[in-house]
Structure 1
Amino acid sequence: MLLPRIAQARDKRALRVMLLGQSLIQRAICDDGWPGMAAIAALLRRADVVFTDLETPIEGASAGEPTRSDATLHRAPPAVLDCLKALGVTLVTTANNHAWDLGTGGILSTIDALDRRGIVHAGSGRDLDTAAAPAIQQTPHGGFALVAAAAGAIRPGAAAAVDHPGVNEVRRRDDGSLEPEDVARVLAAIRTARASGATVLMCLHNHYWEPVQSDTPAWQKAFARACIDAGAAAFVGHGTPAMQRHEFHRGAPLFHGLGNFVFQTRKADGAYGASAWRSVIVDARFNGRFVDARFHPIRLDATKRREYSSGAPELAPSGAP
């Protein structure tokens, strides 16, 4: 469906971007394929940019020992990146609470694996400057920049520092407000990216959840609006395994929660409600600013296979929730 604020014809000259939910992908599902794979890939490959949240560290020579010991440990072989790339993914955020599941070395092995495959990424780095910096994907229709950060559940040692690899963390103070230094760093990166002439996407992976996961905290809404004011053309939120409502600020969309695109969990069947297995692909167009967007509903396969849920997406029938 077309977002209701748009009544104009779609501009074929605009930059086309697919915005996906988070990808908790721990095995390369493309090797075996699944019934909806071809249709998903055909849709995504029409875009100039395909964006997702890589919610797992990638194994490699530099990866460390696991920093978790339960079903919430995320880790994946490099082949999962080949799978995402084959589906059409070109741009990822690596800023999330699972980036450190294989320690600091896992953050570095993930960066190296993405670089080798030419997948543009932002949100973690070898130091704070690189973790906070915008990443720009060049397209025939101009540059598309990503600024990415994570808030909540960032464990000691996982955040980037001046002399330490990690994720770009936005901290929350005891009074519930965001740390001004962290907010200023994010907004400065957005301004830098916009000054380069690129269209800018801001992504926040948030684990400061509300009691009802489909609710968006007021502070996130305010932060998202500040990102638009700084020059972002759109805001995307990840973190909760469920969708949240979208809104607009100064004509720019705030997609506060896009749920999941791939969801391979080791947790017991039924650990997540039905909302974890439904999402949308946001098919958006930009021309420096937001032009329009369509929603393509998807459903994820919750069937357990080889320890993990399949988690594979397929396009849902038109009009599905």
Structure 2
Amino acid sequence: MPSPFTLAITGQSLIHHDIRACVDPGFLQIVEILKKADVAFTNFEGTILGRHGGSPMKGSYFGYSDPQVLDALKQAGFNALALANNHAFDLGPPGILSTLEEVRARGFLHAGIGLDRDHAIAPGVAAIRSRLIGLVAMDAGPGPRTMYADNARYRRPSRPGVNQLEVTRIFEADRAAFDMLATIQTTFQISKLERANYAQPDDPPVLDEDAEIDFYGTIFRRADVNRRVIAVDPDSASIHLEAIARARSREQFVIAYLHHHHWEPNWRDVPDWVRAFAHACIDAGANVFVSHGTPVLQPIEIYKRAPIFFGLGNFIFHTEKGETEWSSPDVWKSVVATCAFDPAGPLQIDLLPVALGGEERIEGLDFHERQVPMVASGKIAQQIIDDLAERSAIFGTTIERHGPTGRIQVSEGQR
């Protein structure tokens, strides 16, 4: 029977600066927890500028990091990284090659990008303290198809890139809104060829001509009510679920990871499609499901004794001076979740509240100066745990607060 072990999970790490010189006790307390865990996991939200070079593939939201940030993550205690995210392709294929090279050189368990589609889909596997750990990491966009890894085929070479979970964004529109869009297309004589031109570098979508309109790359569908729908491609989902099932069949402890930016209007809410996909991953054999992308803390669910972290927000979030869109205090609050898995006993999850930059800066505007997370212990800590407990209760999860920290206890027979 597998022995008990611990998995520490944090928010995403968008790291551009070397933080190894930080000796603040509030940060070092977190480092101690990460180093004690058998597996310490985060999402490296970025790409490495290394010997393969690269060119910017974005506008103002472009970013890259020097290889030394991986040394900083290593020193902080991390030994497992998800690499699938919206910044992984910011330097194009050369950035993918450099990131893979530098991550491998440091011995991280990693997954989520690859030399081609098959390589990107393949789970990362590592033997950590006598246990095989499998990591399947996916990104659901939105992003251009060119950022995703692809296999070679007739007259097309392979493309290094990100492992994609294919989803489609559709806006369902009532009769008045749909007819207005159709009228605009007719008025401006928007032809199929012109729509194809504006769809580049992607191919234009396949439509139900009687019920759907491609409005310059956005699909609108005739419906009774106005709403946004995110539809997961069943073939794409099947590929990833099969990868999870294969890893589990090889007696691996499987971490399923999803990054996406298809957020709800209230960032704190869990999209229905994400919850359904998380359940499917657990059903396929994943032992834990983790998601990032939304820059705020989202609820926790326990499904078939497997923890689902719908969104752990940020752990390291390096911004540029002058950025103002991150003014919500929720962006700077998170938890470090340490899961103690015991095959013969209960599952215990300890939740350590953290404030990026420290509690005293939560309400400030000095975003670019918040270099590291620090343990929250005062009123902010209580608010983080109590708020998370209230929102997680909707999913049947009980979080008990012990002073400034929280705990989830799942008995052997509890689902």
TM-score, normalised by the number of residues in structure 2:
0.70
Letter in 2 for 1:252: A
Deviation at 1:310, TM superposition (A): 2.7
Alpha-carbon shift at residue 269 of structure 1 (Å): 5.2
Counterpart for residue 356 of structure 2: 300
Pick from 241, 245, 261 the counterpart of residue 207 of structure 1.
Answer: 261
Residue matched to 1:5: none
Query: For residues 154 and 288 of structure 1, do their structure 2 counterparts lie closer, same or farther at Cα, with a shift above 3 Å needed?
Result: farther
Q: Is the 8 A contact 2:56 2:91 kept in 1?
A: yes
* C-alpha displacement of 1:74: 1.8
For residues 183 and 308 of structure 1, the distance between their equivalents in structure 2, rounded to whole angstroms, comes to: 37
1:143 and 2:141 matched: no
- The residue aligned with 2:276 is 222
Structure-to-structure mapping, 1:1-321, within 5 angstroms: 13-70=3-60, 72-162=61-151, 163-175=158-170, 176-266=230-320, 268=322, 270-272=324-326, 273-287=328-342, 291-301=347-357, 308-317=368-377, 319-320=381-382, 321=384
Give the counterpart letter for 2:307 in structure 1. P
The one-letter code sitting in structure 2 at the alignment partner of 1:182 is S
Q: Distance in 2 between matches of 1:28 and 1:35?
A: 17
Is the 1:277–1:300 contact (alpha carbons within 8 Å) kept by the matching residues of 2? yes
Distance of 2:272 and 2:53 partners within structure 1 = 37
Q: Report if aligned partners of 1:91, 1:137 keep a CA contact under 8 Å in 2.
A: no
Q: Give the Cα–Cα distance (whole angstroms) in 2 for the partners of residues 93 and 154 of structure 1.
A: 18
Q: Is the 8 A contact 2:297 2:312 kept in 1?
A: yes
Secondary structure of the structure 2 residue equivalent to 1:114: helix
CA RMSD of superposed structures (Å): 2.1
Letter in 2 for 1:130: H
Counterpart in the other structure of 2:206? none
Give the AA of the match of 2:373.
P
Select the structure that is richer in helix.
2
Equivalent position SS for 2:64: coil
Structure 1: stretches of 5+ with no match in the other structure: 1-11
- Going from structure 1 to structure 2, the CA distance change for 1:235 and 1:316 (only over 3 Å counts) comes to same
1 CA distance for matches of 2:368 and 2:169? 37
**1:239-265 Cα distance to aligned partner (Å, 9 max, x none):** 010011111222211110000110101
- Report the Cα distance in structure 2 between the residues aligned to 1:287 and 1:158, rounded to whole angstroms: 39
Whether the 8 Å contact between 2:27 and 2:375 is mirrored in structure 1 is no
- Secondary structure at the aligned position of 2:168 is classed as coil
Deviation by residue 1:99-128 (Cα, 9 ceiling, x = unmatched):
011111101110100001111110111111
Identical-pair percentage: 37
Aligned partners of 2:3 and 2:343 also within 8 Å: no
Describe the shift of the 1:181–1:63 C-alpha distance in structure 2 as closer, same or farther (beyond 3 A).
farther
The alpha-carbon distance between structure 1 residues 284 and 189, as it changes in their structure 2 partners (threshold 3 A), is same
Distance (whole Å) between structure 1 residues aligned to residue 36 and residue 68 of structure 2: 23
**In 2 relative to 1, CA 81–217 (structure 1 residues): closer, same or farther, beyond 3 Å?**
same
For residues 158 and 297 of structure 1, the distance between their equivalents in structure 2, rounded to whole angstroms, comes to 34
How far off its partner does 1:68 sit?
2.0
Distance 1:174 1:76 in 2: 30
Shift of 1:174: 4.8
Structure showing greater radius of gyration is 2
Partner SS for 2:298: strand
Aligned length: 308
Distance 1:208 1:113 in 2: 30
Larger CA deviation: 140-149 vs 123-132:
140-149
Say if 1:125 and 1:160, in contact at 8 Å, map to a contact too: yes
